[in-house]
Structure 1
């Protein structure tokens, strides 16, 4: 019982820097002009078509980012988990390198590459290809988001794939299964908890991301995070911004609920073989 006192500093930190701000945001979202409790901010959000369009647009772009990240990250994680230690360490270093650079710097780097006079269009011009319009639109936004989120997918899948017993695939081969059949019938099902966990993580991060969509996206592809920033920085409408933040929180909790129902939170970084 006395050992529980060791948790007091950590619980105090969480209460002060997590629980209190979150509670304040939730309460402020119900605060009216006369400091009374009201639902007017939620009614205003769901009654205006523009905000509903941005809500569904946020979900759509987050889903597209999640699918693309899994398609790109799964092969990388598979190679990392099943390669020699030297190759694995080099690939792991390459995956970790983006975390050592500011996301703002990385985003500006992609803007330099994708701009009309950038490196990509310069190479296309030398190759006799038409110019690519990949900046200030959904394509540019997705490129930036996928680049930012892929390391999360790779690291999550890698941790799960490292826990898969490779002897199971060898047994499948000894029973007559080919490489492709052994992968789809043995290895891939065992890696599904990692796929689900990585998808959950990327979807949540993408739905609340601000820097990359704001810099690389167009005016027609606004996300809820941009609307929150506009309400706070320009309109100083903290109550309405809090309501939008709570809506994003609810979306996150729904995703966690679906994941817990289908997979289980204990499977997030583990694999049962």
Structure 2
């Protein structure tokens, strides 16, 4: 009897351990999931609910906040300006950041460390200091405007315009593209490019059909980070821009803090969230098709 029960314990113990392992990991994950739910999901739900229940004018109900936002031409202009500014900042960061990240993969270790330090340097400087520095540089009597005046552009004004906002945001967002892009490019085996050229491909063709598809995940990751952060950026547009060319983040702060219109602010934020998700899904689809077309289905010529 003792031998049977001992054998039974030995046989059942792996099953018990397996059940314990399966139960332990959900319990471990419950704490961070609960934290994320409390910090991110709960405010989102409250904002979504208030967009349907909190109204400025008595007697309004339902979709009144969304009707106000989507039916007001000035608000639609601000929404288009916000999306276009975010896309422009992303394009400029990619235009500057891709060659920079690519150069980091081909230089020697010493220069690579110098270039990496230059990328990380903005994180060691206060955002307030950097933004006020741009206010001085782009001011009406600043060095940039004076230089343009010397070139013959006499009627130039930068501070308080969308151009100044894009310049300031690009400088802030550039490291967020370079770092994930570099982490992807440094993993690409450059012998693949030489192999393509040995088989008759021109350098440009090898770069387009071999290197870019392999770099697409880094490009997508960096561009996504920059685009999302640019959509909700507030501090730099508030200082470098003006009320005449404000972005949606400034309007949301205006509705919530000064007008106490929480429902309208929630409606604006949720519309922006939906647009962001749609654009991200479209970008992900385009990236997958691009990699499939150039990476898997194209012939090296």
Q: With structure 1 as the length reference, what TM-score do the two structures score?
A: 0.88
Provide the aligned C-alpha RMSD in A. 2.4
Q: 1:128 to 1:26 in 2, by over 3 A?
A: closer
Residue 193 in 1 paired to residue 217 in 2? yes
CA contact (8 A) 1:80 1:158 kept: yes
Counterpart residue number, 1:20 = 42
Task: Provide structure 1 residue ranges, at least 5 long, that are not aligned to the other structure.
Answer: none
Contact 1:29 1:242 in 2 (8 A): yes
Q: Which of the pair has more CA radius of gyration?
A: 2
Q: Which one has a larger percent helix, Structure 1 or Structure 2?
A: 2
Q: d(CA) in 1 for partners of 2:227 and 2:235?
A: 16
Contact 2:145 2:158 in 1 (8 A): no
Structure 1 residue 250: Cα displacement: 1.0
**1:220-269: CA deviation from partner (whole Å, max 9, x where unpaired):** 321110100111121111111111111111122213322443446xx9xx
CA distance in 2, matches of 1:181, 1:263: 19
Q: Distance in 2 between matches of 1:213 and 1:39?
A: 29
What does residue range 86-165 of structure 1 map to in structure 2 within 5 Å? 86-123=110-147, 129-130=152-153, 132-165=156-189
- Separation in 1, partners of 2:128, 2:46: 29
What pairs up with 1:238-257 in 2 under 5 angstroms? 238-257=262-281
Q: Is the 8 A contact 1:208 1:248 kept in 2?
A: no
Mapping 1:63-102, distance limit 5 Å: 63-102=87-126
For structure 2, which runs of at least 5 residues remain unmatched after alignment? 1-21, 297-301
Instruction: Give SS of 1:30's match.
Output: helix
Identify which range, 173-182 or 52-61, moves more after superposition: 173-182
Is 1:10 equivalent to 2:32 in the alignment?
yes
Q: Evaluate the alpha carbon distance shift between residue 35 and residue 190 of structure 1 in structure 2; reply closer, same or farther with a 3 A threshold.
A: farther
> What is the deviation of 1:37?
6.1
Aligned partners of 1:184, 1:32: CA distance in 2, in Å? Answer: 52
Q: 1:36 to 1:222 in 2, by over 3 A?
A: closer
Task: Count the aligned residue pairs.
Answer: 266
TM-score, length-normalised on structure 2?
Answer: 0.80
Q: How does 1:252-263 map to 2 (within 5 A)?
A: 252-263=276-287
